[in-house]
Amino acid sequence: MGLTYVQLKQSIQDFLENSATDFTTATGSGVAPIDVCIQLAELRIAKEVDLTAFRKVNTFSVSQYSPTAVVPEDLIIPRYLRVQNGDFLLEKDETFLKEFTKNTSTQSLAGVIRFYALNQTGVKYTSSNRQTNFLFGPIPALATTVEIGYTMRVPGLSSSDANTYLGDKAPDAILYGSLIEAVAYMKETPQTIELWQNYYNRAIQTLANEEQVRMRNDEFRNGELTTMQRGQ
């Protein structure tokens, strides 16, 4: 049984016996606290469980002699980066990579990209500047297409998205995750938070186990298909 947006909101209120308007209704921020709790739970699950449904592969360009490129807006966690049709890039510390990029005007230092890092040090994150860059080294001697595989941010449950993957496939995890955030918002006792945390942990473990089984089945089917094709 899945949970729609309306069902999840009502379940949270029922479990906590809290239907107060200051919890369920948007205020000056434009987002109701109960919706913030749901959003935080969705983000937590996406970070903690490697779900195939949240994986994405994309490409972007790195300009010639440029040390940076903007990360995809929907990126949560990078899984890999590689030069398209080439080698995988090694993730390095940002300080390490700045040794490759401090003299971007020196074209003799340019080459094939080998390393990357998330460039965040010294970047002022504001409402008008919400970008995080990838930092590359060495700087590319030629314009380069980079392939990226990553965990993406997907639309969450809301009044405009009544059904989502997590609501359909992991209703217990999203409910218990939302309850953890909600009881923290309500300043409940540590024991209450621990109660829902234990339920959440079990739900997350079940979700992770199901995903592992799903991936093994997919690998088996893909391998079996390849074998059959080779025999034809």
Q: Give residue-wise pLDDT tens across range 9-49.
A: 999 999 999 999 999 998 776 899 999 999 999 999 999 99
Q: Is 147 part of any domain?
A: no
Q: Is 148 part of any domain?
A: no
Q: Where are the beta strands (DSSP E) in the chain?
A: 55-62, 68-70, 75-83, 90-91, 115-119, 133-137, 144-152
The residue segments making up the domain with residue 205 are 5-51+155-228
Give the lowest-confidence range in 4-8, 18-22, 158-162, 202-206.
158-162
| Last-in-domain residue among 142, 170, 193 | 142
| Last-in-domain residue among 114, 142, 170 | 142
Q: Is 56 part of any domain?
A: no
36 and 79 fall within a common domain: no
Environment class of 9 (CB within 10 Å of its CB; exposed 0-12, middle 13-18, buried 19+): buried
Q: Is 114 part of any domain?
A: yes
Confidence of residue 228 (pLDDT cuts 50, 70, 90): very low
Q: Is 57 part of any domain?
A: no
DSSP bridge pairs for 70:
133
105 and 71 fall within a common domain: yes
pTM of the model: 0.77
Q: Is 149 part of any domain?
A: no
**Number of structural domains, the chain?**
2
Q: Is 94 part of any domain?
A: yes
47 and 160 fall within a common domain: yes
Average pLDDT over residues 70-74: 88
The per-residue DSSP string of 103-145 comes to TTT-GGG-B---EEEEE-TT---BTTB---EEEEESPBSS-EE
74 and 96 fall within a common domain: yes
Q: Is 199 part of any domain?
A: yes
